């Protein structure tokens, strides 16, 4: 019996959530009717239940309105998420399945078979956009490395790579992870770089590299302007 009562109560709240104004009207009429009947009959039995009736039929529309407010808020959030999802897919020119496959490609070090399977999910246009972006990124990185090599021809390939990562604001731990080297190895090579650049102990390696890069780029820019004037 108690289960049926609880089930009925939840059903009533659900109805009240969608018909909040009607539930308020019906609750008011119920309380008014019961109060009038109690006053007319003057029955002690009815008087004893009057406070309970008032509390119950006041709480039901209030809870229903609260539930209605929560449901409306959830629906708004759901619609907003759908709109953002559609906008993201439109910007990326991808389908939902392609986006999930792309995210999985980025999040894990997948075996070759799984990588191939995930790439097959991504459409040809999306793959072309992805590969174009990667090629541009690699070209930019290679160009940066070539510039560093021209500025510091006496550095080894490994030291040049470390300089490139330092200029990208990578920490020692991040450089170790990217180059698969130990902390001691990276620290030793940083010391070699400092020695080859003739830096003092008080000099900041990253600031020194940035300053030389800036001077080199300014010189390149001046030469380009001079060539254009000729």
The token pair at 47 is 């008087």
Task: Please tell me the distance from the alpha carbon of residue 4 to that of residue 9, in angstroms, as a whole number.
Answer: 9
Q: Looking at the chain, which runs of residues are DSSP E strands? A: none
Q: Is domain 131-229 given the CATH code 1.10.10.10 in the classification?
A: yes
Task: Please tell me the distance from the alpha carbon of residue 65 to that of residue 13, in angstroms, as a whole number.
Answer: 9
Question: Where do the structural domains in the chain lie, given as residue ranges?
Answer: 1-80, 131-229
Task: Please tell me the distance from the alpha carbon of residue 97 to that of residue 116, in angstroms, as a whole number.
Answer: 15
**Burial class, 165, CB count within 10 angstroms (exposed 0-12 / middle 13-18 / buried 19+):** middle
Cα–Cα distances in Å, from 111 out to 32, 74, 103? 73, 40, 15
Asked if 132 and 152 count as a contact pair (C-beta separation under 8 A), the reply is no
Asked if 154 and 169 count as a contact pair (C-beta separation under 8 A), the reply is no
Asked if 5 and 56 count as a contact pair (C-beta separation under 8 A), the reply is no
Asked if 64 and 13 count as a contact pair (C-beta separation under 8 A), the reply is yes
Backbone angles phi, psi at 148, to 5 degrees: -60, -40
User: pLDDT truncated to tens, each residue of the chain (230 aa)?
Assistant: 344 444 455 556 556 556 666 677 777 777 788 788 888 888 887 788 788 878 877 877 777 777 777 878 888 888 888 887 778 667 766 676 766 666 666 555 655 555 566 556 566 666 666 666 666 555 555 557 778 888 888 888 888 888 888 888 888 898 898 888 898 999 999 999 999 888 888 889 888 888 888 888 777 777 766 666 66
pLDDT single digits (tens) 114-172: 556 655 656 666 666 666 666 655 555 555 777 888 888 888 888 888 888 888 888 88
Task: Please tell me the distance from the alpha carbon of residue 174 to that of residue 180, in angstroms, as a whole number.
Answer: 10
């Amino acid at each position: 019996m108690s289960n049926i009562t609880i089930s009925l109560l939840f059903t009533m709240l659900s109805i009240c959530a969608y018909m909040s104004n009607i539930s308020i009207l019906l609750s008011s009429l119920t309380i008014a009717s019961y109060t009038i009947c109690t006053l007319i009959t003057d029955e002690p039995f009815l008087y004893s239940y009057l406070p309970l009736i008032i509390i119950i039929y006041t709480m039901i529309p209030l809870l229903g309105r609260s539930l209605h407010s929560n449901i409306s808020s959830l629906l708004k959030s759901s619609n907003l998420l759908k709109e953002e999802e559609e906008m993201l897919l439109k910007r990326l020119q991808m389908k939902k399945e392609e986006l999930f496959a792309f995210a999985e490609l980025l999040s894990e070090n997948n075996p070759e078979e799984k990588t191939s399977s995930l790439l097959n999910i991504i459409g040809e246009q999306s793959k072309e956009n992805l590969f174009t972006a990667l090629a541009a990124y690699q070209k930019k990185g290679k160009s940066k490395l070539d510039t560093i090599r021209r500025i510091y021809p006496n550095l080894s390939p490994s030291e040049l790579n470390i300089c490139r990562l330092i200029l990208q604001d990578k920490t020692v731990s991040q450089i170790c992870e990217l180059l698969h080297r130990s902390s001691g190895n990276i620290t030793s090579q940083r010391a070699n770089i400092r020695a080859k650049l003739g830096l003092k102990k008080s000099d900041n390696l990253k600031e020194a590299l940035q300053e030389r890069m800036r001077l080199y780029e300014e010189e390149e820019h001046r030469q380009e302007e001079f060539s254009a004037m000729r």
